[in-house]
Structure 1
Amino acid sequence: MNNDWALSKLDEFLALSEMVWRTQSGSSFPEVAGGVTAVTQSAQVVEKILDRVTPAWRKSLVNDDYEPWQPTRLAVMRAQSEIRNSAEVAQMLGEDAPAMRADAMHRWAWDAARSLWQSGHFGEAVRAATVKLNAEMQNKVGRRDVSETALFQQAFSADAPSQGSARLRPVGDDGGKTALSVRRGIVSLAEGLFAAVRNPASHDVSEGILSEQIALEQLALVSLLARWVEGCTVVRE
């Protein structure tokens, strides 16, 4: 993200949305400095910045009938502080370790999770990503009669393909010991994903208690499997 551009857009919104007193025909009344149209247009961009910098910002909004833009203004101020101080805070409070970006994950994972993630529904976001992975896997091999773990087991089987049951082979798969090991590993990860991640999320076990960090790690598993699946060659009878 271009921090300088983002900060300039946030500053612009704060200037436009500041409440000022206008006088007309002897009467004074409050209104936003930039006018409702300009503030609304600015907010369209600002909200996308907030979604990126502080994804759960909407959950902290409190309606203010007198100053309707005030809740967003407060969210903008928090985002400004995050942008300006995130590097220093990370350095002072913990290791200067690489950060994992959700929007850099495979598109099957992040595109499916994005809207739920940005509203703070992390468990549901991960579940949506697993549903997308399963659907794309079915599309890849042209099947609808099997899904999830069984689909991975059959698609990565060492058996030759048969009518209506195509196989997937990862990049560089030569049928040797290493190739067989890779296939087994992919299937094992898929089994873990659907059993330990997707199933609990589908039954609302994790919703409300799943932290953003844990959800991010689970989403990374979906992304990794998605990259393997997309890169595979389809082998048909």
Structure 2
Amino acid sequence: MAIPIAHVEWARTELARFLELTTLYHPPDPPGVTFITSRMSNRGDQKDIAASAQVVEQILDQALPRWRTEVPDSRVNRCCRHREAAQRADAVLERDTEIRARLGDDAPELNAAAMHPWA
């Protein structure tokens, strides 16, 4: 994970907002009309989803660098790949410390940008 611990809560909040916006549901039929369809829509407005996705993609690139190739695409909805990747990234962010401690990779992370220029 490359997201600094200080920013994990912010990243998780952004992922949760995206997941809320992209939740799939069956839209209600207009009054007096009944549609028999399996079509589902996202809860959020497309403009809000696109804006959120712009931020979420950058979080995903940090938390799950190979998400674009490892998370399968879906023809059900254009947001399905992003949703699954966001769910996976949230789990990584939530449990990273525990996983590193239990699997033996709990050495401190070094950020070269934060080091003195001589280093």
TM-score (norm 2): 0.78
The Cα of 1:95 is off from its aligned counterpart by 4.8
SS in 2 for 1:48: helix
Distance in structure 1 (CA, Å) of the matches to 2:71 and 2:105: 31
Q: Which has the higher contact order (CA 8 A, sep 6+)?
A: 2
The Cα of 1:63 is off from its aligned counterpart by 2.4
Name the larger-Rg structure.
1
Match of 2:56 in 1: 46
Match of 1:21 in 2: 26
Write 1 or 2 for the structure with the bigger share of helix.
1
Distance in structure 2 (CA, Å) of the matches to 1:34 and 1:81: 23
Match for residue 3 of structure 1 among 8, 11, 23: 8
Identify unmatched segments of 5+ residues in structure 1. Answer: 107-226, 229-237
Equivalences for residues 115-130 of structure 1 within 5 A: none
Distance in structure 2 (CA, Å) of the matches to 1:37 and 1:80: 23
SS in 1 for 2:27: strand
Match of 1:59 in 2: 69
> Superposition RMSD on alpha carbons, in Å?
2.0
Percent identity for Structure 1 against Structure 2: 29
Identify unmatched segments of 5+ residues in structure 2. Answer: none
The Cα of 1:35 is off from its aligned counterpart by 2.1
Match of 2:42 in 1: 32
Match of 1:12 in 2: 17
The Cα of 1:46 is off from its aligned counterpart by 0.5
Equivalences for residues 153-172 of structure 1 within 5 A: none
SS in 2 for 1:15: helix
Please tell me the residue identity of whatever aligns with 2:28: T
The Cα of 1:30 is off from its aligned counterpart by 1.6
Please tell me the residue identity of whatever aligns with 1:53: A
Match of 1:79 in 2: 89
**Count of residues in correspondence between the two structures:** 106
The Cα of 1:21 is off from its aligned counterpart by 0.8
SS in 1 for 2:16: helix
Moved over 3 A (4+): none
Equivalences for residues 210-229 of structure 1 within 5 A: none
Match of 1:99 in 2: 109
Distance in structure 2 (CA, Å) of the matches to 1:82 and 1:19: 23
Write 1 or 2 for the structure with the bigger share of strand.
1
Equivalences for residues 167-178 of structure 1 within 5 A: none
Distance in structure 2 (CA, Å) of the matches to 1:5 and 1:42: 13
Are residues 63 and 24 of structure 1, via their aligned partners in 2, closer, same or farther at CA, if it must alter by over 3 Å? same
The Cα of 1:3 is off from its aligned counterpart by 1.0
Distance in structure 2 (CA, Å) of the matches to 1:51 and 1:64: 19
